[in-house]
Each structure stands twice: as structure tokens, then as C-alpha cells.
């Protein structure tokens, strides 16, 4: 039992009465959000014929009311590696839900996909015809040519790449898609009204990129992200920005 004298000595010299030291407190996490809309107000390029489906697909789709640009990839660079979750390693499969690209009515759905490197991408065939999937990336890890019969599937883990990976079907040349692969989680694709949202961003100054591959639209913007705040942006494209690629994947 501690005597009053010993207790007074402990209090005088600041000695702890507990053998266990206080654990260090974790630094508070902080983040911000970038959201907004990508728009296009110029003329639309001609629709692309899909003979097998007897349909035409516009390579640039714009909401008639908001002028929002559909299927533009949006991402940031410049985040500190210490401020973001560890990227998925293609050599070490992580516990991440797969993303899906389906083949329906002789089209890839979605047409534009963004994914973190190493995350499984499942290519499905829910069509009535035999299909295949070709990837023509700049690296060996992002190149393949496989067959996907009705009801079949193929799973691939892409490596990060500076350019989007063109996707096609070796059986039906009108089918195409794009896969953007990043080494971080700060990426998305605009919805059918041109809207996008990037959350959990580390505060600081970042470079935001927008790329619509079928329209050739490209833009980069410096953005300041503030802790606990949402930065709203409108990113416009006009007719002079339209530069469709000369070769489809």
C-alpha cells in the first residue's frame, strides 16, 4: 500500500502511478473533395455505324440540357504517397471488389473505365454472339487477346499506364472501349450529365486532368484542395478542342 509520503513524492516530481505509458495519439486525418461538371458546346462528330447491332453510336455524347460531356476520365496527380491508401500491387492480389466490363448488343459497357492498378477487371459476355477482348496497351502487361463466348468471362489485372489502354473485339471491329489505369484511387468517369466527384483527397495543390478519348478532349487544371471543403468546378470544352483520334482501337 502506498503511504501518504510516497504519494506526495510522486506528485511532487511528476512520477506516474501507472506502469503503462500513454500511447501516442494518431494524427487527425484530413481530406477534401473536388466535384463539378465537364461540358462541351461544339458540333458533334458523325455517329459510328455498328453493323452487327444495326445501330449507330455517337463517339461524343452530350446532355442536351446541361451540355454535360459523358464518359470523360477525370483524375488528379501530385498527391503525396503518404497521404493516400496504398496502391494495389498487380503481383500481390488485394482484397478489392472487381470491376466489370460487359459485352451487350455488340458494345462494351461501360465504354470508358478508370481503375487502380492491380484491381481485377472482369470482361463478361452477356451477348448472343461469340466475342473476344483485345487490349493494346503500351506495356506487355496491358496487352492480351482472348476469346469470350456467350456466358464466358476473362479477368485481368492492369498495370498503371500514362495513356489509356484501347480495348476492342477481334470478331467485331466496331466494338471499342478504353481503360485508364492509375497507381492511386483519385479517378472517376463523368456521368451522363457530365458530373464527377473526387473524394478523400489530401489537402494541398493538385493537378486535375480531364481526357475524353473518343473526342480527343484534354485539359489540365491546377486545383487547391482544402481540408473539409468541396471545390466546385466547371470544365468547358468548345469546338476547337474536338480532336477525334484517327484510329479507333
Give per-residue pLDDT as tens, 108-132: 999 999 999 999 999 999 999 999 9
DSSP 3-state of 9:
helix
Residue 13 covered by a domain = no
Peptide linkage before 110 cis (omega within 30 of 0): yes
In the predicted structure, residue 133 carries a pLDDT above the cut 50: yes
Residue 130 lies in a domain: yes
**pLDDT number for residue 93:** 44
Whether 40 and 215 have beta carbons less than 8 Å apart is answered as: yes
Residue 8 pLDDT exceeds 80 = no
pLDDT confidence of 244, banded at 50, 70, 90?
Answer: confident
Same domain, 198 and 78: yes
Assess whether 145 and 166 both reside in one domain.
yes
Check whether 166 has a pLDDT greater than 80: yes
* Cβ within 8 Å of residue 249, ≥6 positions away: 134, 136, 166, 167, 168, 176, 177, 178
Query: pTM value?
Result: 0.82
Q: Are 89 and 74 within one domain?
A: no
- Closest to 90 (Cα-Cα) out of 120, 113, 114: 120
Q: Over the stretch 177-186, which tens digit does the pLDDT of each residue have?
A: 999 999 999 9
Examine the domain organization and report whether 70 and 94 are in the same domain: no
| Residue range 139-156: mean pLDDT, rounded | 96
Distance CA 198, CA 21 (A): 40
Q: Which of 70, 24, 30 is nearest to 189 (CA)?
A: 70
Give me the pLDDT at residue 25, please. 44
The number of CA neighbours under 13 Å toward the Cβ of 47 is 10
* Residue-range definition of the domain harbouring residue 246: 30-84+187-249
Can you give the pLDDT at residue 22? 52
Write down the mean pLDDT value for the chain: 86
Alpha carbon distance 116, 184 (integer Å) = 6
Residue 161 and residue 96 share a domain: yes
CA distance 49 to 34: 36
Taking only the tens place, the pLDDT of each residue in 58-82 is 999 999 999 999 999 999 985 544 4
- Per-residue pLDDT of 78-96, as tens digits, reads 554 445 544 444 454 445 8
Do residues 194 and 74 both lie within one domain? Answer: yes
Can you give the pLDDT at residue 2?
A: 53
pLDDT tens track for 189-229: 999 999 999 999 999 999 999 999 999 999 999 999 999 99
Question: What is residue 143's predicted lDDT score, i.e. its pLDDT?
Answer: 97
Last residue of a domain, one of 139, 162, 183: 183
pLDDT at 4: 54
Q: Is residue 8 part of a domain?
A: no
Tell which of 183, 209, 227 closes a domain: 183
pLDDT of residue 83: 52
Total domain count for the chain? 2
> Does pLDDT of 148 surpass 60?
yes
Amino acid at each position: 500500500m502506498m503511504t501518504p509520503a510516497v504519494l506526495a513524492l510522486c506528485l511532487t516530481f511528476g512520477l506516474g502511478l501507472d506502469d503503462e505509458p500513454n500511447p501516442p495519439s494518431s494524427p487527425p486525418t484530413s481530406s477534401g473533395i473536388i466535384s463539378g461538371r465537364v461540358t462541351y458546346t461544339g458540333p458533334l462528330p458523325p455517329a459510328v455505324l455498328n453493323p452487327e447491332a444495326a445501330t449507330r453510336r455517337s463517339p461524343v455524347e452530350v446532355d442536351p440540357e446541361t451540355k454535360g460531356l459523358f464518359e470523360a476520365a477525370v483524375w488528379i496527380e501530385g498527391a503525396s504517397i503518404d497521404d493516400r491508401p496504398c496502391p494495389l500491387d498487380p503481383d500481390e492480389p488485394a482484397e478489392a471488389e472487381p470491376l466489370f466490363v460487359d459485352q451487350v448488343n455488340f458494345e462494351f459497357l461501360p465504354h470508358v473505365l478508370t481503375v487502380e492498378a492491380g484491381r481485377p477487371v472482369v470482361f463478361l459476355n452477356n451477348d448472343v454472339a461469340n466475342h473476344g477482348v483485345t487490349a493494346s496497351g503500351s506495356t506487355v502487361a496491358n496487352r492480351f487477346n482472348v476469346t469470350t463466348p456467350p456466358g464466358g468471362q476473362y479477368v485481368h489485372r492492369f498495370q498503371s499506364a500514362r495513356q489509356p489502354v484501347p480495348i476492342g473485339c477481334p470478331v467485331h471491329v466496331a466494338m471499342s472501349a478504353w481503360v485508364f489505369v492509375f497507381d492511386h484511387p483519385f479517378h472517376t468517369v463523368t456521368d451522363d450529365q457530365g458530373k464527377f466527384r473526387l473524394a478523400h483527397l489530401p489537402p494541398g495543390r493538385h493537378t486535375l486532368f480531364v481526357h475524353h478519348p473518343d473526342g480527343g478532349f484534354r485539359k489540365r487544371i491546377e486545383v487547391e484542395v482544402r481540408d473539409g471543403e468541396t471545390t466546385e468546378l466547371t470544365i468547358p470544352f468548345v469546338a476547337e478542342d474536338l480532336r477525334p483520334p484517327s484510329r479507333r482501337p
